[in-house]
Structure 1
């Protein structure tokens, strides 16, 4: 009978992580439905404002003890988080969700690769480059992507890398309360952009249910589930499974947004996922940081 509890201890965190990834990408699909009303800029603002209110109540960040050094780290972490969300949503205006997530994944992948010096990591670099070459727009074929959208997604990846690096430092000081502080700072950082772009449209009460849904699906629910999953599985296992995020994004795009990818684009996503999984498996214990953060 000992096998059943052992099996349950494996399936439970795995299920939580799968639900978290599905939640994040469902939230991204829902967020895209707000674009016609308030644009990507306004949608980012609504998500971060509502998410910060939710986390303010749940995590009570006022209990954090901040020094001048830790405050500076948290501010950079929050700005990186805000930039990541903003640039990611900007990319969704012109490229499919699955491709945007795959391109964004180059950020945490770069962090994992730069933190290691093993010869096998060259293989993961090659796989990632192959994936990018297959995705980067070429010519005027039907499968080519909008250059601006690609640039936004890669910019979101760069912010994701900063989010990881400074999130580690900030988290070491104040633990999970760092997440709430980061989201609040991100909201303060992005809100002026959303206000300038969308103006009074952000005050439309009819948008509240969708905006609240985005905040819950993309931030509050997956963050909570990931925290529980992380305490019940090895970091490398978590990172390897998290590398499947682009697949969840692609299927979410197909299901909710009717975005269908070409065979070449699926191959590109597969190459980037393989690079992410490989980098995670060969990373040192303290560097398995491919954690979903959209």
Structure 2
């Protein structure tokens, strides 16, 4: 396997589900794409101006999910779990077609997307990948929330901390080396909410498709879902999955170290915008065998997750 070469999927993937926030049914297809085309979303329910590119500057909302739009106002929302799957599996190029605005939530994690991609197979091309390297530390603060990214030689490290007053969630922290560690728990970790917030979310037109089938619901010190948690750090691991998906809106893999406390979609987007507003902050490097970091692959890339 040539890990420094661009990759796409081998066969078209078809997935049907419901939007977490809209509650509307959506059919999604992931198709192979050519080298250097990146990830492209196509709204097939629209006949024109229906191409939307996932890019940091195209984020139009980061409230409880990431939403991107094009210059015509056409949107694609809740794409972070799919983008996290692409990022973790090393998919550089793909066409994503969907017949509604929102990417289906599936079980609230990236598990279904990952397994379908692995089932399709991954096609390696002859084009070298490009990566973004940080030249200096960049940080962003919003009250008690903070996030930073700084140079690293060979990996993408995500060190994430969350703090909740709810005693069951409490304070959790985990550190992940994205190109080296087993990503199974990250891919499997579901979105979550507090029971007392559900009514407020729905009153604001959100979480209309939410259920115990696609989100962890915490009421006081009890998890309402049958079977409880999938892993002991599922809450913070889901935040790391979200971070991976949002980071991929940079357009390339990133080599650096991210430290985040109490962050989310908006904080990650704010950080990326700050990084890219100054070209001195970063450099884009084409990777070949001579300068390929030894960790720049994941040993679990081609193993289906339970």
Same fold (TM over 0.5): no
Q: Which has the higher helix share?
A: 1
**TM-score normalised by length of structure 2:** 0.29
**TM-score normalised by length of structure 1:** 0.30
**Larger RCO: Structure 1 or Structure 2 (Cα < 8 Å, ≥ 6 residues apart)?**
1
